[in-house]
Amino acid sequence: MDFSSKLLEQAVDEMSQLPGIGKRTALRLVLHLLKQPEAQTQNLASALTKLRSEIKLCKNCFNISDTELCDICANPARNEELVCVVEDIRDVMAIENTGQYRGHYHVLGGKISPMDGVGPSQLNIHPLIEKVKAGKVEEIIFALSSTLEGDTTNFYIFKQLEGTKIKTSTIARGISVGDELEYADEVTLGRSIANRVPFESSLKG
C-alpha cells in the first residue's frame, strides 16, 4: 500500500501486527479512530499501555490480576485442594461462567509446542509441581484443549508428578448437550461411549 502520510503508515503498520488484522482492516480501524473524538484514541492508547506495564499475574495461580493474589485464590470459600489446570485466562473465564466450579485454577500460560518454540520452562509448570509436592493439592483436573500440544502438556505434567499421591483427572469429552449423534466425529463418540456415566447422574443437570 502506498500511503500519503508516514504517520498513517506507522499507525497502520503497528495495528496490522495484531493477529488476524491485515493491512486493509488496520487502515479501516485507524481511519475510524481519526473520525472519532481525540479522547477515544487517547483512552485506547493509555488503557493498553497501562495494562501492559501494570498488569500482575496472581502469585499463586498465574491468572491475570490487579492484585498480588487474584480474587479466586483470595476467596476463602473456594477449595484450594482442587486445582484445574488451564491454558490461559479465557479458559478461567469460560469455566467461571458455568458457575459450577468451586476449586482453584492454575494458568499455564500456553501449551508445550516445540514447533512454536514453547518448552516446559516457558510455562508455569514448575510452580504447579512445587505446589503439589508441598502437599497443598488433593486433585488436579487437566482442562487443556485435546490437541497434540494439549495432550503433550498434560502428559509432561503427569510424568513430573510421578511418585506423589496426587489424584489426576481430565474434563469429560463427549457429545455436546443438544448435539445430534450423527454429526459427531468418531473419536468423540467413541470416548463418550467408553466413558459413559450412570443414568441417574445425568439427571442432575
Count of residues touching its own copies (by CB under 8 A): 59
Q: Cell numbers 481519526 correspond to what residue?
A: 34
Residue 5 binds its own copies, judged by CB under 8 A: yes
Residue 86 binds its own copies, judged by CB under 8 A: no
Among 46, 79, 169, 195, binds its own copies (CB under 8 A): 46
Residue 42 binds its own copies, judged by CB under 8 A: yes
d(CA 20, CA 143): 26
Dihedral sign, Cα of residue 156, residue 159, residue 92, residue 122: negative
d(CA 62, CA 109): 8
d(CA 106, CA 88): 9
Where does residue 137 rank: exposed (0-12), middle (13-18), buried (19+ CB within 10 A)? buried
Cell of 91: 479458559
* Residue number, 52 or 165, with CB nearest to its own copies: 52
Q: Which stretch binds its own copies (CB under 8 A): 48-56, 135-143, 150-158, 161-169?
A: 48-56
Question: Cβ 9 to its own copies, closest distance in Å?
Answer: 9
Binding site for its own copies (CB under 8 A): 1-8, 10-11, 13-15, 17-21, 25, 27-34, 38, 40-55, 58, 63-66, 70-72, 88-90, 92-93, 96-97
